[in-house]
């Protein structure tokens, strides 16, 4: 069993937000009452960007607040949406007079609370647009369901929208490039071991010695299937093959890749996945033009990883490469 | 038990180095034969900086190769020193005509192999200086032993020496500021659960439900004592109290702090430690002027953390703040 480093578990999220802000005093400010983090130097004359969701996925979202990315990130309890009231206050804080893009991972609670907040903020004459992130290929189904879940592509959407807003794009333009990004990116995830909630004695689920959870969610949602455990190269292929099939990439294409640690994967393990990814795509005539390899969207201490691919074009490459200065992403 | 994402375990380190370099194509180059990583754009006319050691501590050391930090990082097997021959070739690769500073964590094998390599490279007319990092307060003993172990202060020494070399300091000056940094920094570490070697079925050691390993090493070295498990604030105090006593800080002092994840600590947990650290030091009239909070010097997937403090002065603050562009540190 895992023991957590906590004080009163009820205080985990507010205390952690306080710690994040105290350790980034040049970058961040805290609204303790509504549990959101803002840039210390508020942006002026640009479209505002707010995101947020349940905690337990750090550095998402508050780690991406700063110049060139989010203006505000609002935090719910572990794996629980922030309330509509929190999102409303966060949306107001993000507004600098040109409207606010709300970047929302596709989960029922988050979508509902951001939508309510967007409607109410209209009463304050704040224009809002929602950009829904729904990149998780494991939940791609025909029919009227909730649609694909939002996972690590959120980082790309936040970065690209942040750069567009910084360049002076208007509300519709920022929302449009965010939607285009979300529509282009797909992610597959696997777990060798589930994460453990702070305070819980046991992990969210257990797997047999030979089993891998292929298509796991970032809240520990079980997958439709378990597959046999295999080598680093084999595990990479399990993620890559469905992505290649779905994205329909062809020779000469260039992609952005995120090899994302879901919590307690060693860097050495991630680097093996990056290696295999490079060689597989190189063999197919596809270039990985931009990379992130590390913990970006975690699921507590889950041992597992996700692989996100997004085809790059000139606009997306330029927006990705634009300067950024946040706790978790800086160049 | 933990299952690792590996191919042939014998190939883990070379494949992981290859993956690191392939996923940072603008920054890094690989010498596959001698298992070291260099800057892609070799520096000219400056003092060279080489570091290295056993693998399993990523992002240390190869994640700190780049502008403003290391020129070369050389990797041994997991928790094992690189050979003297590897270090020799790495030292040659780091030389740009003004000599090479070797930054070495204080472990017998590393010190021996770097020293041999330094002596042999003298035959090639390469001047070298060793900067020994020995910040681990848990191993501070009187007498003729091996001295304190080197842990997370290595990141500070690599950053400060990197900036000094970039500014044009000569070999003796870079070594001197590195030694001054190493002498000023101290670290304390604790573990709630040991890491697991790739391929091993069981962690390096097990603890009772109420036990914390206070003074653990980054190779899973057991501590002299186990202490009772307690709250996040209490655990922080266990690290902080001996550091404050040893460093003799006083009201008005400013420090750099590293709150370092040893492997599978959640960001939320680290943020609670940062919070407590801020409040304790603020209460004592001491400012944390610079922070790193995250995984910098890990021990596979150990659940635990280390706290490093170093008093800042104008020179060290300037060298810390100087621009850096590496996979793991960038501003």
Residue A239 half-sphere exposure toward CB, CA atoms < 13 A: 33
Mean pLDDT for chain B?
Answer: 96
C-alpha distance from A145 to closest chain B C-alpha (Å): 32
Nearest to B190 by CA among B234, B143, B144, B127: B234
DSSP-derived 3-state class of residue A22 = helix
> Could you give the C-alpha distances from A63 to A28, A67, A268, A326, in angstroms and in order?
10, 12, 23, 6
Residues of B in contact with A238 (CB under 8 A): none
B-chain CB neighbours of A22 within 8 Å are: 274-275, 278
Nearest to A255 by CA among A187, A189, A163: A187
| Non-local CB neighbours of A183 within 8 Å, separated by 6+ positions | none
Instruction: Please give the model's pTM, rounded to 2 decimal places.
Output: 0.98
| Cα B306 to Cα A112: distance, rounded to the nearest angstrom | 40
Q: Is A305 on the interface with B (CB under 8 A)?
A: yes
Query: Nearest Cβ partner of A20 from B56, B264, B271?
Result: B271
Cα→Cα distances B27→A188, A326, A331, B38, Å: 27, 21, 13, 8
Q: Which domains does chain B have, with CATH numbers?
A: 11-184 (3.40.50.10440), 186-319 (3.30.1180.20)
CB of A249 less than 8 A from some CB of B: no
**pLDDT at position B145, please?**
85
d(C-alpha B183, C-alpha B166), whole Å: 22
- Minimum-distance CB partner of A272 among B19, B291, B303: B19
Q: Residue A1's pLDDT is what?
A: 83
Q: Which residue in the list B34, B61, B197, B219 is annotated as catalytic?
A: B219
> Out of B58, B264, B268, whose CB is closest to A16?
B268
Quickly list H helices, A60-170: 84-94, 108-123, 153-166
Tokens of A140: 């791609």
Confirm if A99 and A128 have CB atoms less than 8 A apart: yes
Task: Give yes or no for a cis peptide into A61 (omega within 30° of 0).
Answer: yes
Which one of B2, B19, B229 makes the best mutation probe of the A interface by having the most chain A beta carbons within 10 Å? B19
Distance from CA of A68 to the nearest CA of B (A): 14
Q: Provide the number of CB pairs (under 8 Å) joining chain A to chain B.
A: 183
Task: List CB contacts (< 8 A) between A278 and chain B.
Answer: 19, 22-23
**Side-chain half-sphere exposure of A258, counting CA atoms within 13 A:** 27
Pick B55's closest partner by Cβ from A20, A268, A330.
Answer: A268
B34, B57, B61, B303: the catalytic one is: B57
Buried b (16+ CB within 10 A) or exposed e, A276-315: bbbebbeeeebebbbbbbbbbbbbbbbbbbbbbbbbbeee
What's the whole-number mean pLDDT along residues B204-222?
Answer: 96
Cβ of residue A94 closer than 8 Å to a chain B Cβ: no
Distance, in Å, from the CA atom of A90 to the CA atom of A20, rounded to the nearest integer, reads 17
Is pLDDT above 90 for B199?
no
Query: Residue range B284-313: average pLDDT?
Result: 98
Q: Which of residues 127-186 of B touch A (CB under 8 A)?
A: none
Average pLDDT over residues B57-72: 98
Residues in chain A closer than 8 A to B194 (CB atoms): none
* Contact status of A206 with chain B (Cβ, < 8 Å): no
Cβ-based contacts of B264 with chain A (< 8 Å): 263-264, 301, 303
Distance between B214 CA and the closest CA of chain A, angstroms: 14
Residues in chain B with CB shorter than 8 Å from the CB of A235 are 5
Kindly report the nearest CA distance between residue A7 and chain B, in angstroms.
Answer: 5
Nearest CA in chain A to B196: A266
Q: Which token pair is A207?
A: 């797997």
Has residue B120 got a pLDDT over 90? yes
CA-based R_g, chain A, Å: 19
Which residues have C-beta within 8 Å of that of residue B156, sequence separation ≥ 6?
B181, B185, B256, B258, B308, B310, B320
Q: Which residue of B has its CA nearest to A13?
A: B268
- Residue from B6, B10, B17, B23 whose CB has the most chain A CBs within 10 Å, to mutate: B23
Q: What pLDDT band is residue B140 in, cutting at 50, 70 and 90? A: very high
Contact A5 B232 (CB under 8 A): yes
Mean pLDDT of B146-158: 97
Mutation target to probe the B interface, by most B beta carbons within 10 A, among A15, A23, A54 is A23
For every one of its 331 residues, what pLDDT tens digit does chain A have, with 9 covering 90 and above? 899 999 999 999 999 999 999 999 999 999 999 999 999 988 889 999 999 999 999 999 999 999 999 999 999 999 999 999 999 999 999 999 999 999 999 999 999 999 999 999 988 899 999 999 999 999 998 777 889 999 999 999 999 999 999 999 999 999 999 999 999 999 999 999 999 999 888 999 999 999 999 999 999 999 988 999 999 999 999 999 999 999 999 999 999 999 999 999 999 999 999 999 999 999 999 999 999 999 999 999 999 999 999 999 999 999 999 999 999 999 9
Q: Which of A22, A67, A267 to mutate to test the interface with B (most CBs of B within 10 A)?
A: A267
Residue of chain B whose alpha carbon sits nearest to that of A256: B23
Question: In 3D, which of A163, A170, A177, A187 has the Cα closest to residue A106?
Answer: A187
Does residue B43 have a pLDDT over 90?
A: no
What is residue B248's predicted lDDT score, i.e. its pLDDT? Answer: 94
Interface contact B274-A55, CB threshold 8 A: no
- The interaxial angle of helices B171-184 and B314-321, nearest 10 deg, is 110
């Amino acid at each position: 069993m895992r023991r957590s480093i906590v004080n009163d578990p009820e205080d985990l999220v507010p205390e952690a937000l306080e710690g994040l802000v105290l350790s980034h005093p040049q970058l961040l400010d805290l609204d303790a009452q509504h549990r959101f983090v803002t840039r210390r130097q508020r942006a002026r004359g640009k479209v505002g960007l707010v995101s947020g969701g349940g905690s337990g996925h750090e550095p998402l979202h508050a780690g991406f607040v700063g110049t060139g990315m989010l203006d505000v990130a609002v935090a719910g309890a572990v794996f629980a949406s922030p309330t509509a009231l929190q999102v409303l206050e966060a949306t107001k804080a993000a507004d600098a007079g040109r409207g606010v893009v709300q970047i929302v991972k596709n989960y029922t609670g988050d979508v509902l609370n951001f939508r309510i907040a967007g409607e109410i903020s209209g009463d304050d004459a704040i224009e809002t647009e929602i950009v829904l992130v729904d990149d998780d290929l494991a939940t791609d189904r025909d029919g009227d369901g909730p649609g694909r879940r939002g996972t690590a592509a959120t980082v790309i959407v936040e970065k690209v929208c942040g750069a567009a807003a910084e360049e002076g794009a208007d509300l519709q333009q920022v929302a449009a490039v965010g939607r285009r990004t979300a529509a282009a990116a797909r992610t597959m995830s696997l777990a060798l071991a589930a994460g453990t909630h702070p305070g819980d004695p046991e992990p969210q689920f257990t797997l047999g010695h030979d089993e891998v959870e292929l298509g796991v969610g970032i809240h520990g949602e079980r997958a439709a299937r378990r597959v046999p455990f295999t080598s680093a190269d084999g595990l990479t292929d399990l993620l890559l093959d469905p992505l290649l099939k779905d994205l329909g990439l062809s020779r000469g294409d260039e992609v952005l890749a995120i090899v994302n640690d879901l919590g307690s994967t060693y860097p050495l393990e991630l680097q093996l996945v990056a290696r295999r990814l490079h060689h597989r795509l190189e063999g197919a005539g596809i270039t990985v033009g931009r990379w992130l390899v590390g913990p970006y969207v975690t699921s507590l201490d889950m041992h597992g990883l996700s692989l996100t691919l997004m085809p790059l074009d000139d606009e997306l490459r330029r927006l990705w490469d634009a300067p950024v200065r946040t706790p978790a992403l800086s160049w």
